[in-house]
Structures are given as structure tokens and as C-alpha cells.
A and B are shown apart, each in its own frame.
Chain A
């Protein structure tokens, strides 16, 4: 038999390089475009130090747009990987941190952190992580046993958890009177505009190790798709692997939510599109989701900055406008 397909390492490299190129292009676009207009040539000159640009533009590129683009990159990578991991673990293509209410749970934790006056890092991030883990535990408890088999049960539970979290967030907002209310409302919009470089470094330190850990377990995620029993007979320690994946994903997602608020549907759109394009192999999908998710959120943020004639809108609005219709299409497809 001839080997019609390239070896796995070659496929990982080729696809990752292609997506890296896409990410690089979107990042340059993100650095060049904004409410003050766009200038790709000058941005490239400034980036490579070839020519000194206008000092105002230099400031905008390096101090405002660069942290924002980097934050969007990390957020996209974390949320997209989060969706991929949940979909593999729960064997449900519609599972995603936002839809399952884990982002909202993380939001409750973060808001409580803000209300009791914790520092953004690590205080609010730890509170967000605790919120996401509590929500995940509640969700798994609600769908444990036979109900777990039914895909709709999981989604329905997610919707209920989400609704409960939303109500709780409203309650917290209604009892907040001082300037912390402004912080909470701005944060809830899922906005990337408040990015700064120290925040980017901190998020990098959280997201990157988690992503590497998930990549190391990517082959195990393939085995999970065959069902838990068969995965066990192929050498997988289900409890240990599931715990590592859930904790790594929750840490990543809650750090992201703590940094910029809940940005929805990224974990649904990107893994699904990439699965259609490159197949179901998680060894390829993990790096592809990392890079593809990054490029997607950078692109959504560019749209959020440039679409309104005046000012800008939160990136979460764009991701929801793309993600929600796709979710409905997928739901209809899975029901047939």
C-alpha cells in the first residue's frame, strides 16, 4: 500500500505554518487598522525599524494596538482550545465554555473578586477560576449518569446554568452602587480595549503552558472519541487525563475571562471550521485551534474597531453575531 497522506509530523508542520502566516497577516492588520485610520506600509516600517513613523502613530501602534492585538491573540487561542477540549471530553460538537455557562460562572467569580477589592492578578483570576470550576462541577453533577449520554441534556443544563449565572450577575450589579459598577459593566462587555503589556505577559504565562499541556494530551483526546471504555483499554487513565484537561482548560479560560470579560462562541466556530477543513485528528487540531482562534479574535477585534462609524464596539458582539447563527445551524444538523 502506498502512503497517500503525508506523515503526521509533516501535516502538523504544514498546517501550523499556514495558520501562523494567517495569524501574522491578521496581526499586522490589527496593528495597522483602527479608528484613527489604517496605514499598513508605515506600520510595517515601524515594526521592522526601517523608518521612523509619525510619533503619534508610533505611540498608537506600540502602546495601544500591540497590547490589544496580543491580548486578542491569547484570548482567541485559549477560548478556541477550550472549546476543542470540551468537545472531545464530552463527545459533543456543541460543547463550548460560553454555551455551557462556564464563562458565566467564571464571570461571577471575577465580579465577586472585583467587589471584594481583589487585585486583577492573581486575585480576580483565581476568583474567576474558582467560579468556572464550580460551574463545571455543577454541570457535570446535573448531567451525570445516564443523562450524560443524551447530548441535548448537556446543552439544556448549560443553558440553565448560564441563565442562573446571568441572573446572579444581575443581582450583583443591582447591589453595587459605587465606581466598581463601572468596572463590572465594562468588563462584562467582553472588551479588549483596556489591554496593557503587563497583562499580556501574565496571560501568556498562563495560556502557553496550558496549551502545551493540552498538545501533549492531543493523542489521548483522539482516543476519548472512541468512548471511555475503549480509551481505557488503549492505556488511557481516564480520571487523571480528564482532570488534567479540565483543569488546564478552566485555568486558561478563566484567566482569559478575568482579563477581558466573556467573549462567546470562539470555542464553537474555530474548532468546527478547522475540523471541516483538516479532519478530526487532535494532534493537528490543537495547534491549528491555537493559531486559528488567535487569528479569528484578532480579526473580530479589527471589525469591532472599524465597523462603527464612530467609536467602537466590544469584540464579543462580533464573535456572538458570527457564532450564534452557526450554533443554530450545528444544532439543527446534530438533531437530524
Chain B
């Protein structure tokens, strides 16, 4: 399968403190690739490097086989679209206007949209089921609706790769599943490569083709969910007590956090199914 992204020995930093250290990976075309890891592990920074909103200190990054720095900003915007974690809340545009603006990299300097631009915007809004909101102002939408509109905006950009920074954060359970199903549909029906940052390990296990676990700017493990989400790896990475078991839904892991009140004196976590080991009592 052809590679969408190939990264070799990436190094990057914020204000002289190194955040990403020697990160190498590749993402296949049409893959659902999820970045997980504790806070400050460099996930969002990596996403910003992939969207070229943050400069790379060293290393090579190829997009569709071509070094990223050979692309102009407009050319890159025709390949990669970003759904950021937070967007200005006081956006004065309607849903329709906002989605249509995503055609900018494909329009002339004045941004005068043509029929096919409007058609793309309508398709994107239908795909994300926000077509009933088209004339609503952005500041009148709920969190879930806003997120779907921003995904519609990214789809309307007609990219090959879509980057999402914690798209399910601050959403209720139903909306989380809806957004993840939408990403799955996007990958299956449109053949897009989806790269997502997530703090929700269980959603990552259910939807990701491959996961990349980061800690302090380094890759801890990269592979299929079953390879990455092992008790030892997660416990060492997150440094907190947890249980890793098989999900009742299928052949993938389910991770359960273990609060202090559920931990017995013999350092075994208690659950309905039985007990699980807790490694280091000093950390509890």
C-alpha cells in the first residue's frame, strides 16, 4: 500500500525545550492512525508539524512521496486538512459560509466560488448531516454540531489526509461515537487517510487501524491496537493503576482506570470479573 506520510527522525521543540525526539513512522493511504499518550507527550505538536503550522527542527517528512517543504501552502492545503481542538467561539459566519470557505485553496485569489465549489460544500454538509443547519450562525451551535461542521469544512477542502486534534474531547458519549463513526465512514467511502490525536484509549482501540503511543516526545510503541495496548506498556506510560481486558464487543482491548478506593491492601484491584495486578504501590 502507498504511504501517505513518511516521517524520519523528527525533532521539534517549543521555546528551546525539546518536545519531539527522533520520531519516525509512516502512515499508509486510507489508514485510521491514532496518536495516544499522556499530556505533554508531543501528540498535538506532531499534528501541528504534519499540518505545517509548526516548523520542524530536523528530520524528513514526506507527504505523498514528496518532501513537505517542497509544497507551497496552497498546494499542501489541497492535500491536508486540519480539524483543530479549539476554534474561535465567536465566529460570525453561518455554517454554509464556513464550510464553503474551505474551498479557498482551490479557488482564485478573490475566492469567488463556482457551482462545483457549492456542490462540494453541500455534499460535505450532507455527509456530516449538518445540512439542516446551513443558515445557522456558528455561535448558535452545540459542541457536537460545531465539531461536525468543522469536519464538514475539512471534507469540503477535498484533502487526501485529514488531521484531527481530539475531536471527541468535551462531547457526550453519543456524540463521541457519532464523530468516530463519521471518521470511519470517511475513510471507507472516500478513501481518506485519517490521523487523529485522542486521549480516549478505548475509542482508539475500537476504531484505529494502528496506534502510536508517545511519551515525553518519544515513541513508546507503534502497531495494531492489540500490540500497543498491553498492561505493561500502558502502566509504564501513564504511570497510573489500570486494568486491561478484552472488550465484550470484539477482539480488541478495553482499558479501565482503577481509582484508589478500589485498590485492596494486597495491591490487587478489585472488579466484578475478578482482580488484576497493580504494579507499583508507591505510585498509587
A contacts, CB < 8 Å to B: 1, 3-4, 7-9, 91, 215-220, 222-223, 225-227, 229-230, 232-237, 275, 279-281, 283
Contacts and interface: CB of A to CB of B under 8 A. Distances in A.
Contacts of A223: 101, 104
Nearest to B78: A235
B122 to A, nearest CB: 5
Contacts of A222: 93, 101, 111
A3 B115 CA distance: 10
Interface string B100-113: 01101101011111
Interface string B69-91: 00011111110111010011001
Contacts of B107: 219
A89 to B, nearest CB: 14
Contacts of A283: 110-112
B118 interface: yes
Given A232-B73, A234-B105, A234-B157, A226 B113 contact: no
Contacts of B48: 229
Contacts of B91: 225-226
B104 A219 contact: yes
A237 B110 contact: no
B134 interface: yes
A229 B92 contact: no
A286 to B, nearest CB: 10
A303 to B, nearest CB: 31
A280 B77 contact: no
Given A1-B134, A223-B101, A233 B87 contact: no
A7 B52 CA distance: 33
A91 to B, nearest CB: 7
A213 to B, nearest CB: 11
Given A218-B110, A229-B53, A234 B134 contact: no
B81 A233 contact: yes
B9 to A, nearest CB: 24
B110 A219 contact: yes
A223 B103 CA distance: 11
Contact of B101 (A1, A3, A91, A234): A234
Which residue, of A222, A226, A275, A283, has the highest number of chain B Cβ atoms within 10 A? A226
B97 interface: yes
Nearest to B157: A234
A4 B102 CA distance: 20
A237 B104 contact: no
Contacts of B81: 233
A246 to B, nearest CB: 19
B93 A219 contact: no
Contact of A233 (B75, B80, B131): B80
9 contacts: A216-B110, A217-B109, A219-B110, A230-B84, A232-B51, A233-B52, A233-B82, A280-B92, A283-B110
B53 A226 contact: no
B55 to A, nearest CB: 12
A4 B118 CA distance: 12
Contact of B52 (A1, A215, A227, A232): A232
A81 to B, nearest CB: 16
B109 A280 contact: no
B44 to A, nearest CB: 11
Contacts of A1: 122, 131, 134
A233 B53 contact: yes
A9 B112 contact: yes
A1 B75 CA distance: 30
